[in-house]
């Protein structure tokens, strides 16, 4: 339905009154005052009727629409003046309502996505914690039912209980770290350090784990051992450690993991590459989600919490950087990110 401004409505009503007035004054002029009185009275009468009708229409319409307009805009007199909208209030408000509805629909869709993510997250957390909790419960019950007196199983079950507790602590610690990174509570303690030395430390930590599968940990060709970057050394150690662990977990027996870095003027580009099982293309957008695993059984066997890549992403974002991944199933994966170079 086509909308009409208050001024136009007032004009229509005034015109109606005008026609009526002309007829009345025509009759009156014939019998009493004549044509001059008619010509003077008609404009005056028309103007008075127009402004009176227009005033009361504005009062009525604007007072009805103003609350709607305020609601749509979270109205604040200091930031938005309702009286400043154009004269055709119906067209203006219809447009505003339409835009408001579109925004609200987008918000609803976003809330649905967040709700879906929340349900998945809670389901994943409960699933990850359920396994070690049930294991601990089973071991303790066995010991309480007499197993504690059996030297063949008491120490074995106690060690398994300890291992399950360690897994729970690891999951909770990783979740706490992500929560602090997301909220900004965990500030980065940036410093200048040698990135080559940091990679060496990561390799030393995971050397035994890599040897168990015959995986070689190596540097790329022509890396500069005197390459320095700016960042939180402790957190970036965690980043590289998680990427190297993933390359071992999802690598192939006898494979290799290669860390390379390149001088890119103002930043250093780091690449962690492997020749493992690779990642299917449709999985790539989700690998940085919490608890998301490509091969759940393989990851759990290796002790992974499923939070490593989520932590990597958040730490790099806290450094003002992003991480990218390319992968070919059956050929391997490559993770790349940049770090700030120290000033010369």
pTM metric for this prediction: 0.60
Rounded to whole angstroms, the Cα distance separating 244 from 213 reads: 14
User: Looking at domain 117-183, which of 1.10.287.130, 3.40.630.40, 3.20.20.370, 2.60.40.1510 is its CATH number?
Assistant: 1.10.287.130
Q: What is the pLDDT of residue 260?
A: 93
Q: How far apart are CA 236 and CA 9, in angstroms?
A: 70
Q: Six-digit token pair at 247?
A: 């390359």
**Burial class (CB within 10 angstroms; exposed 0-12, middle 13-18, buried 19+) of 14:** buried
Residue 187 has a pLDDT of: 81
Report the distance separating Cα 289 and Cα 301, nearest Å: 20
Q: Pick one of 1.10.10.10, 2.60.120.10, 3.30.565.10, 2.30.40.10 as the CATH number of 190-340.
A: 3.30.565.10
Output the pLDDT for position 98: 73
Q: For residue 251, what pLDDT is reported? A: 86
Average pLDDT, the chain: 77
Residue 48 to residue 226: CA distance in whole angstroms: 89
List pLDDT tens digits, range 173-225. Answer: 777 777 777 777 778 889 999 999 999 999 999 999 899 999 999 999 888 89
Q: Residue holding tokens 């000033």?
A: 343
Which is higher by pLDDT, 116 or 228? 228
Rg of the chain in Å (alpha carbons): 37
Q: Which residue has the higher pLDDT, 183 or 146?
A: 146
- Residue 145: pLDDT band with limits 50, 70, 90: confident
- Rounded CA separation 318/302 (Å): 28
d(CA 158, CA 165): 10
Outline where DSSP puts E strands in 160-310. Answer: 190-194, 216-219, 228-232, 256-264, 267-274
Q: List pLDDT tens digits, range 294-330.
A: 655 444 555 556 778 888 998 999 899 989 999 988 8
Instruction: Report the 10 Å Cβ neighbour count for 325.
Output: 17
Using the structure block, give the residue that is written with the tokens 């999802």.
Answer: 250
* 234/295 Cα distance (integer angstroms): 28
């Amino acid at each position: 339905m086509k909308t009409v401004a208050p001024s136009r409505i007032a004009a229509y009503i005034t015109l109606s009154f005008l026609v009526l007035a002309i007829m009345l004054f025509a009759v009156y002029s014939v019998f009493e005052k004549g044509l001059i009185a008619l010509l003077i009275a008609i404009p005056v009468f028309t103007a008075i009727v127009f402004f009176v009708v227009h005033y009361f229409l504005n009062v009525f319409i604007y007072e009805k629409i103003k609350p709607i307009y305020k609601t749509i805009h979270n109205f604040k007199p200091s930031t938005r003046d309702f009286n400043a909208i154009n004269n055709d209030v119906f067209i203006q408000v219809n447009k505003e309502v339409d835009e408001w509805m579109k925004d609200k629909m987008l918000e609803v869709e976003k809330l649905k996505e967040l709700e879906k993510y929340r349900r998945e997250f809670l389901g994943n957390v409960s699933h990850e914690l359920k396994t070690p909790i049930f294991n601990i419960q089973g071991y303790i019950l066995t010991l309480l039912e007499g197993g504690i007196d059996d030297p063949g199983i008491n120490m074995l079950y106690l060690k398994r209980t300890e291992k399950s507790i360690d897994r729970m602590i690891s999951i909770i610690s990783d979740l706490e770290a992500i929560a602090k990174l997301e909220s900004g509570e965990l500030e980065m303690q940036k410093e200048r350090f040698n990135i080559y030395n940091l990679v060496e430390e990561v390799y030393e930590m995971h050397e035994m784990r890599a040897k168990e599968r015959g995986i070689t940990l190596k540097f790329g060709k022509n890396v500069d051992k005197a390459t320095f970057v700016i960042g939180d050394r402790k957190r970036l150690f965690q980043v590289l450690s998680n990427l190297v662990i993933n390359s071992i977990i999802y690598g192939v027996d006898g494979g290799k993991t290669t860390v390379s870095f390149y001088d890119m003027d103002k930043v250093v580009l780091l690449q962690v590459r492997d020749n493992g099982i690779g990642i299917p293309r449709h999985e790539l957008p989700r690998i940085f989600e919490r608890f998301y695993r490509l091969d759940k059984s393989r990851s759990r066997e290796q002790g992974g919490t499923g939070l490593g890549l989520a932590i990597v992403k958040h730490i790099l974002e806290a450094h003002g950087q992003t991480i990218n991944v390319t992968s070919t199933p059956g050929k391997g994966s490559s993770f790349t990110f940049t770090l700030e170079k120290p000033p010369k």
